Amino acid sequence: MTGTAAVDGDVVDVVCLGESMVTFLPSRPGRLADVPSFARTIGGAESNVACALAAAGHAVKWVSRVGADGFGDHLIAAVAAYGVDTSGVRRDANRPTGIYFRTATDRATDAHEVLYYRAGSAASAMSPTNVPHEDLDGARVLHLSGITAALSPECLGLMRVLTARRAGRPLVSFDVNHRPGLWREDPAVLLDLARGADVVFVGEDEAEEAWGLRGAAAIRSALPEPAVLVVKQGAQGAVAYTRPARPARTPCASEADVADVAGHPEDTVTHVPAPRVDVVAAVGAGDAFAAGFLSATLRGLPVEARLRHGHLTAAATLTVAGDLGTPPPTAYADRLAALDDERWGTLHLGPGWTAADQAMEEVRTS
């Protein structure tokens, strides 16, 4: 797969389907009960990926449902401001736009609090019958996440349809994104959905929590079907399992993107350590990683470069307070991704590192 932004209205690099919400970030650290005010922003796994990909120059469409309310107006305008096509977002006069509040602490700590107000939201009503095929057709990649499957039985039904293997479908990218607070079903359902995808992203920690699987190799054993499996290992980095390629079986997928699992049982295993990052907030980093990896995939880069671009895009989000960071300019990211192993291993990124196309020596390597 090659190229970046579409040259006409009929070509879309990536369609991202899922709920986005208006997010309220605290004005200071502390319990939600003690925070006096909040700043309004946006958040949602799939729209985060869409915005990051659009900021990187790709033609991206976001498909969802929002309420016919002011928060819905804000979401559509905010996502569109990144250059994302929002024509696939439907308005629902009977259901509200979802919102949520969170504390400033790391999601992994016991002090982290999140309050979702998304039950019965417009997006939770997405189903196989009300998401038009024309909103999804023609994309080179369809990006989904397990969060959508957790919103309602109707959304789960939609996800089953979209991850079913069929001729002519786009390359399907699936981020497991297990959220225990949302999930009503057996989380093994997420494993079933992931098996239908071509590219899967999953955190080592969430695979253990959801499925009792320990270690990247065990995850790959449970998920042999995807042509590409990326296991994220936090600050330790990420490992990609890729299968030897076969000729494309869909109009959009290249021989580098789709593999014949039955005919080529061997994996190529590629591990790339994460750079050292001065973390401001961890929320949204997984979405950013997926965007960076998919961007490099669309550009036909090798697997190691895809993982490095995933790490760099994640670092852009880790070094800001909100769910969305500004990706580094492509040429700048390419230079960093091309560092030799020694210099990559000493890369140190802090707040503001993506602000300009800096000279190489301006990035700390220590």
Question: Residue 71's CB: how many other CB atoms inside 10 A?
Answer: 18
Say if residue 323's pLDDT is above 80. Answer: no
Do 148 and 155 contact (CB within 8 A), yes or no?
Answer: yes
Give residue-wise pLDDT tens across range 238-295: 999 998 644 333 334 443 443 333 334 688 999 999 999 888 877 778 999 999 999 9
Give residue-wise pLDDT tens across range 132-185: 888 888 899 999 999 999 999 999 999 999 999 988 899 999 999 988 777 777
Work out the percent of the chain whose per-residue pLDDT is above 90. Answer: 62
Mean confidence (pLDDT) of the chain: 86
Instruction: In whole angstroms, give the CA distance from residue 299 to residue 58.
Output: 10
Task: List 269's β-bridge partners, or say none.
Answer: 241
Determine which of 49-58, 239-248, 325-334 has the lowest per-residue pLDDT on average.
Answer: 239-248
Q: Are strands 228-232 and 199-203 parallel, antiparallel or unpaired?
A: parallel
Say if residue 225's pLDDT is above 80. Answer: yes
Instruction: In whole angstroms, give the CA distance from residue 3 to residue 6.
Output: 8
**In the predicted model, what is the mean pLDDT of residues 292-316?**
96
pLDDT at 273: 96
pLDDT at 109: 60
Instruction: In whole angstroms, give the CA distance from residue 331 to residue 266.
Output: 34
Say if residue 361's pLDDT is above 50. Answer: no
Helix or strand run (H / E) with residue 313: helix 303-318
Q: In what order do the strands lie in the sheet with 276-277?
A: 276-277, 347-349, 364-365
Say if residue 41's pLDDT is above 70. Answer: yes
pLDDT at 354: 84
pLDDT at 254: 41
Instruction: In whole angstroms, give the CA distance from residue 164 to residue 195.
Output: 9
Q: Which amino acid is at 305?
A: A
Determine which of 27-31, 69-73, 119-123, 323-327 has the lowest per-residue pLDDT on average.
Answer: 323-327
Do 98 and 125 contact (CB within 8 A), yes or no?
Answer: no
Per DSSP, the residues of 32-99 read TTT---EEEEEE-HHHHHHHHHHHTT--EEEEEEEESSHHHHHHHHHHHTTT-EEEEEEEESSSPPPE
Do 41 and 102 contact (CB within 8 A), yes or no?
Answer: no
No. of helices (H) and no. of strands (E), the chain:
11, 16
Say if residue 198's pLDDT is above 90. Answer: yes
Say if residue 46's pLDDT is above 90. Answer: yes
**In the predicted model, what is the mean pLDDT of residues 188-203?**
95
Q: What are the C-alpha distances in Å from 255 to residues 14, 73, 78, 203, 252?
A: 18, 41, 36, 26, 10
pLDDT at 160: 97
Q: Which amino acid is at 7?
A: V
Highest mean pLDDT among 110-114, 231-235, 279-283: 231-235
pLDDT at 356: 54
Q: Crossing angle for the helix pair 153-163 and 188-195, nearest 10 degrees?
A: 30
pLDDT at 282: 76
Of 92, 135, 198, 287, the catalytic one is 287
pLDDT at 360: 46
The pTM of the full predicted model, rounded to 2 decimals, is 0.87
Residue of higher predicted confidence among 278 and 67: 67
Is 287 one of the annotated active-site residues of the chain? Answer: yes
Instruction: In whole angstroms, give the CA distance from residue 272 to residue 46.
Output: 24
80, two tokens: 């569109």
Q: Which amino acid is at 299?
A: R
Q: Which amino acid is at 175?
A: D
Q: Is 237 left (phi over 0), alpha (psi -120 to 50) or beta?
A: left
